[in-house]
Amino acid sequence: MNTNALHNVLNILITLSALLVAVLLATGCTQLGDGTLECSRSFIGPSYTAYVIAGLGALKIVVNVTRDGLSGLIKPQPPVGE
């Protein structure tokens, strides 16, 4: 696996994890100060943050696909010129 493919796999995983948190928060969970999720009541505010994070991650992937095409997500990157 080349670094570009790894970079994009990580982008996808970050986006999916943020989306998962957004779904949990949107369905009634809240995040406590220690980072755990508490789901006995709903609080909509934190979900917006998770949606924004997921949206930005998805936008980054869309930009990469638009720029390089779908195959560009896994192609090796050219060497850095000096």
**How confident is the model over 8-22, as pLDDT tens digits?**
777 887 888 778 777
Strands (E) in 23-77, as ranges, are 30-31, 37-38
Q: What average pLDDT does the segment 53-60 reach?
A: 77
pTM above 0.85, yes or no: no
Q: How confident is the model at residue 44 (pLDDT cuts 50, 70, 90)?
A: very low
Q: How much is the pLDDT for 1?
A: 66
Cβ atoms of 3 and 77 within 8 Å: the answer is yes
